Amino acid sequence: MLESVLQSLKPQMPQSLKTAIMVIGGAEDKLHGREILRDFFWRSGGSDARIAIIPSASREPLVIGNRYQTIFTDMGAQEAKVLNIHDRAQGDLPELQDYVSECTGVFLTGGDQLRLCGLLSDTPVMEIVRSRAQAGEITLAGTSAGAAVMGYHMIAGGGSGETPNHSLVDMTLGLGIIPEILVDQHFHNRNRMARLMSAIVAHPTLLGIGIDEDTCALFEGDGTLQVLGKGAVTILDPGEMTYTNQAEIEKTEPLCMGNLRLHVLSAGCRFDLRKRAMLIRNSRKSPLWDRG
């Protein structure tokens, strides 16, 4: 909790803000309102925040890491430290393990998700981050490539703007922070609906989550997802899919999917991840939500 004197010096935020896992579609506002980054800052502890910035996905890790360090320091974080992990062996370093064991927030920057997984997967540092995020001990955010790695299965690359087909998407393993989801980012901005469809049809137990730029899918400990930012979060639910030809066709042939459910959520919308249903506010002034 922030002390009242500090509340008067900074934009007012709800006292009840808790830790969360923040999956950001990329290109989040870094200059003006900084809504998403500011939410991460407050959920990490505000003026008490000790933030680990991991820019391993980037080809210019120090440049991008220092940019976020400046942003969070200017917001008033107690500490924002760049962990420039550029070799897998660094994931074993005791000093880095100590820092991620004690920090209040971890931020994974954008870049190349394959590079990020190659450097972090199955390292002690990543195991600590994943465990603490899943336990609600820290706020973990990932943007762009840092968002793509959140699921156990991950979209490594592919095309866009075509009819859904197997060749449109390349799959591999992610970091497994939220194992039940499959994330695509820069979603409508780069016309990736068909790509996410092509991925989710082969993984019908997962939820496909497509996140637009400057938009965040915020996963809270109560089993709900809420949306922050200027764009939309698109959810593809194959749980009640009645038919697909995905096992019968060649890689470039069009996919067929029956009863694939679609939800599109904008800022303020919520989704019940356990019931796989939208939550609808009873009225604009009501804090209560009903299943949609």
* 3-state SS assignment for residue 289: strand
Burial class (CB in 10 A: 0-12, 13-18, 19+), 5: exposed
Mean pLDDT over residues 230-249, rounded? 97
Residue 202 in tokens:
């082969």
Domain ranges (residues) in the chain: 17-291
Residue 180 in tokens:
């039940």
Contacts of 193 by beta carbon, 8 Å cutoff, 6+ apart: 187, 210, 234
Give the per-residue pLDDT at 289.
Answer: 55
Give the per-residue pLDDT at 48.
Answer: 97
Structure confidence by residue, pLDDT tens digits, 164-174: 999 999 999 99
Q: Which residues are catalytic?
A: 144, 162, 186
Cα 277 versus chain centre, distance: 19
Give the per-residue pLDDT at 17.
Answer: 79
Residue 105, strand partner residues = 51, 139
Q: Which of 215, 216, 274, 221 is nearest to 18 (CA)?
A: 221
- Separation in Å, CA 149 to CA 19, 112, 187: 19, 10, 15
Give the per-residue pLDDT at 36.
Answer: 98
Residue 52, pLDDT > 60, answer yes
Choosing among 3.90.180.10, 3.40.50.880, 3.10.530.10, 3.30.300.130, the CATH entry for 17-291 is 3.40.50.880
Quickly state the pLDDT bin for 107 (edges 50, 70, 90). very high
Structure confidence by residue, pLDDT tens digits, 129-148: 999 999 999 999 999 999 99
Under 8 Å between Cβ of 133 and 180: no
Residue 195, pLDDT > 70, answer yes
Residue 279, strand partner residues = 270, 291
Under 8 Å between Cβ of 270 and 218: no
Amino acid at 215: T
Residue 102 in tokens:
């004690």
Structure confidence by residue, pLDDT tens digits, 17-47: 799 999 999 999 999 999 999 999 999 999 9
Backbone angles phi, psi at 291, to 5 degrees: -70, 130
Quickly state the pLDDT bin for 3 (edges 50, 70, 90). very low
Give the per-residue pLDDT at 280.
Answer: 77
Residue 22, strand partner residues = 141, 218
Residue 13, pLDDT > 80, answer no
* Residue carrying the six token digits 């991008």: 64
Give the per-residue pLDDT at 51.
Answer: 98
Quickly state the pLDDT bin for 291 (edges 50, 70, 90). low
Mean pLDDT over residues 283-290, rounded? 52
d(CA 201, CA 118): 26
The number of beta carbons lying within 10 Å of the beta carbon of residue 135 is 10
pTM: 0.92
* Residue carrying the six token digits 């890689």: 251
Under 8 Å between Cβ of 184 and 199: yes
d(CA 256, CA 60): 41
